[in-house]
Amino acid sequence: MEKWKIVLAGSLVGFFGVMLVKFGNPVNMGVCVACFIRDIAGALGMHRAEMVQYIRPEIAGFILGSFIISLSFREFRPRGGSAPLIRFVLGFFLMTGALVFLGCPLRMILRLANGDLNALVGLFGFTAGIITGIQFIKRGFSLGRSYSQTRVSGYLMPAFAVVLLVLLMAKPAFIFFSQKGPGSLHAPVALSLVAGLAIGVVLQRTRLCTAGGIRDAVLLKDFYLLWGLLAIFLVAFLGNLLFNFSQFKLGFIGQPVAHNQHLWNFLGMYLAGMAAVMLGGCPLRQTILAGEGDTDAGVTVLGMLVGAAFSHNFGLAGSAQGVSANAQAAVIIGIVVVTLIGLGVIANNLGLQRKERIGVGS
Amino acid sequence: MVASIQVDARGRSCPEPVMMAKKAVDQGHKEFMVLVDSEAARDNVSRFVKSQGLRVQVEERGDEYVLQVNG
């Protein structure tokens, strides 16, 4: 019973991934949390990469869908205080890694489902990053517990989502909209918003998470979430053959909004996988949690937004032309910083345990 | 007979509540209580302990859940 729910949820995500491409989103970018947050950062003028500026209603939909359904199921719980600054930094570097690969883990699955084998290299990197993150968790990595907060704090991210939609509709002069490139390609606003809301609702109910799927399978031999990921892949694959057949292309070369520098596809997603496990969820899951009142996830989303802005301001993002020296440096720095955070937290937690055992401290 | 214990997994991100329950199981506990405060943690911990052949009873207490695990 549970398994069918997650398979249906994954199928819905895969289906919308296909349909949003059919109705105007860039190829293999029906849904991509990293790309869409990057486009939003561009639209807000936080970076000035002219090709990637658009307020993607899907992101607002994820947050609001999760917000509405969690309210109606009484699962909306304003909470926070679990190492917000660390989460911000992890979100920042998660985004850096994802943008070098050119996509969040969800887009990785959608790229693979349309024949882009570079995504397979990304998947290997992502899995390796998750396994590394698991080693931290097994050794006591924890960002500490959150506590309940005032209701108003839980309303902030949904309010941010509403503001984004208002800006999208009103199109004030200070908001940037790409005239060409991926940012100029988008499905009709209503379809994007409905898809976003539907995905937000379904993911809040099922807790589908791209990092969690692989993490739970490796760590706990629990395949519940992985079934959802398989469903995304299969439905997107069949859907692409059915609805976007002219754009289906198997191979490494000339894939849309992608490059074939294997090492950096691998390492970019390695960084993303590591950070996602330490955060407790992938970028998509963070937007869902942000909608149901988790302000730590809200901070993570803001970290991703700022990470996207820096990526394009400093030329750190990958592109169809490949990966710049700056981008390579950024991935290495990201891996080092995330590793140091992991080791630092573990050292600290071990110290606390020892103190408790000998009865010192609080 | 291992003494019954209480695992406080409130406010923890995934997969910590499950890891904490796993630790209790690995230490040989067959009867213990897990406190959680989110539905995701409630479902994940329940699924895990059931996969270990244990039974679980869920009780809602305000905004929290008490999971009573039995062998």
Digit-by-digit pLDDT tens for chain A (362 residues) are 679 999 999 999 999 999 999 999 999 999 999 999 999 999 999 999 999 999 999 999 999 999 999 999 999 999 999 999 999 999 999 999 999 999 999 999 999 999 999 999 999 999 999 999 999 999 999 999 999 999 999 999 999 999 999 999 999 999 999 999 999 999 999 999 999 999 999 999 999 999 999 999 999 999 999 999 999 999 999 999 999 999 999 999 999 999 999 999 999 999 999 999 999 999 999 999 999 999 999 999 999 999 999 999 999 999 999 999 999 999 999 999 999 999 999 999 988 888 777 765 44
Q: What is the pLDDT of residues A264-304, one digit of tens each?
A: 999 999 999 999 999 999 999 999 999 999 999 999 999 99
Residues 6+ apart with CB under 8 A from A122: A101, A103, A108, A111, A265, A266, A268, A269
Under an 8 A CB cutoff, do B14 and A79 touch?
no
- Per the document, the length of chain B is 71
> For residue A143, which residues of chain B lie inside 8 Å, CB to CB?
13
Q: B19 to chain A, minimum CA–CA distance in Å?
A: 8
CB distance A255 to A118 below 8 Å = yes
Give the model's pLDDT for residue A362: 45
Under an 8 A CB cutoff, do A146 and B11 touch?
yes
For residues A345 and A348, give the distance between their C-alpha atoms in angstroms, rounded to a whole number: 5
For residues A247 and A211, give the distance between their C-alpha atoms in angstroms, rounded to a whole number: 28
Mutate to test the interface with A, among B7, B10, B12, B13 (most CBs of A within 10 A): B13
Structure-token pair, residue A330: 């950024």
Residue B19: enclosing H or E segment and its boundaries?
helix B16-26
Under an 8 A CB cutoff, do A220 and B11 touch?
no
Taking CA atoms, what residue in B is nearest to A142? B16
Structure-token pair, residue A161: 């989502």
User: Greatest CA span in chain B, whole angstroms?
Assistant: 32
- Alpha carbon of A276 to those of A7, A282, A341: distances in Å? 22, 5, 13
Taking any CB pair shorter than 8 Å as contact, residues of chain A touching chain B are 2, 73, 75, 77, 79, 82, 137, 142-143, 145-148, 207, 209, 212, 215-216, 219-222, 224, 279-281, 296
Q: A147 to chain B, minimum CA–CA distance in Å?
A: 6
Tell me the DSSP string of A141-155: ------EE--HHHHH
Q: B10 to chain A, minimum CA–CA distance in Å?
A: 7
Task: Tally A–B CB contacts below 8 A.
Answer: 54
Residue type (1 letter), A101: F
